[in-house]
Structure 1
C-alpha cells in the first residue's frame, strides 16, 4: 500500500521463464495483452521507470504517469518525475486514481514490498531475455482470478496478510 493506504497493483506480462524483456523490448507480440494493459491502467496512476517510459516514447493517454529516475536533470513533457518508489507512492497519494506499477524490472523489484495485487499476464512461451520479473514468495500470494486467453493467461494475485 501507499503511505496513505491506496492499493498498489503490479501489472506485468511474464514468460514461463520469468522473462519480461530483451534489449529493451518485449520479446513477444500479443495485441490482446496490450489491450488488457490499456484497459487495466487507463484512468489510473501509472508508475514506470525512465527506460520503460523512453521505450514507449510518450506518456500513455488517460493515465497520470510518474517516471522514476535517479537523474535530477531528467524531465519529459506530460509526466511527473520522482527519484524513488517511496517518493512516487507519496505523490500518488495526492492524485486521483489507483496506483499501477508498469515496469521495468527495477521498478517492479522496488515496488514489490508495497504491492497488494499482481495482475500477471502469464505468457505461454519461454523466450530469450535479459530482463526478468522479480522473484516473490508464492505462499505470500493467493490467486483470486484467472482468465485464459490465446497465448497467455491473465492471473490476479492478492497479497495474503497474516493475522495475529
Structure 2
C-alpha cells in the first residue's frame, strides 16, 4: 500500500519557490523547520534541488533523486556515486523506491516534481511556509488552493522583517 506523501515547501503569495536555482529569500526559522521535519526521513527531489542542497544526506535523510541524466551517468559509471542516494528516472519510480523504505516520504521539489506529485490520488500533507509577499522568480509551486485541503495547523512567524505563516494542510 502506498504511503501518504508530505510535500514541504516555502513559497511566496505569487507561488515563487526559486530564482536562478536558489531560494529567493533567507528565512532561518523556515530552514530550521525544513531540516527538523526531513531529518531521518525519505526525501524525494529533483536533480537541481539535490545539487543545491549540501545537507541532503545529513541527519539520516535518505534522498531519492529524480533525474534521467544522473541515472544514465550512474549506469555508465561516469559519475561518482553518492553514498545513501537512490536514483530514479521518474516520479512514479521514485515513489516506488520510497514506498519500500522505512520512514515518511517528503517531497522536497522542484517545480516539476511538485506538479507531478500534487495530481496523484494519494493521501497528502502539505507543510507550507507561505511568505506574504510577491517575489520575483523563475520557479513556481503549482496552484494548490483549489484542492480539497483541510487545515490542520497554522502558526504566524515571529520575524519582524518578513511576514510568513506556517501551514499544515491535509487531503
Same-fold status (TM-score > 0.5): yes
CA drift of 1:5 comes to 2.5
Using the alignment, how far apart are the partners of 1:142 and 1:93 within structure 2?
24
Cα distance, 1:137 vs structure 2: 4.7
Change (3 A) 1:152 1:131: same
Choose from 126, 133, 136 the match for 1:118: 126
1:63 maps onto 2:61 in alignment: yes
Write out aligned runs for 1:135-146 (5 A): 135-146=143-154
Quote the Cα distance in structure 1 between the aligned partners of 2:134 and 2:15. 8
- Structure 1 residues 113 and 103, CA gap change in structure 2 (3 angstroms): same
Q: Does residue 157 of structure 1 match 2:155?
A: no
Structure 2 Cα separation of the partners of residues 65 and 74 of structure 1:
17
Q: What is the TM-score of this pair, normalised by structure 1?
A: 0.89
Task: Name the CA distance, whole Å, in 2 between partners of 1:55 and 1:14.
Answer: 17
Q: 2:40 aligns with which of 33, 39, 43?
A: 43
Q: Distance in 2 between matches of 1:59 and 1:40?
A: 13
Aligned residue for 2:103, secondary structure, equals coil
Matching residue of 1:77: 82
Give the TM-score, by structure 2 length: 0.85
Over the residues paired in the alignment, what is the CA RMSD in angstroms?
Answer: 1.5
Q: Which runs of 5+ in 2 are unaligned?
A: 75-80
Tell me the matched-pair count: 156
C-alpha distance in 2 between matches for 1:29 and 1:57? 16
- What is the distance in 2 between the residues matched to 1:74 and 1:33? 34
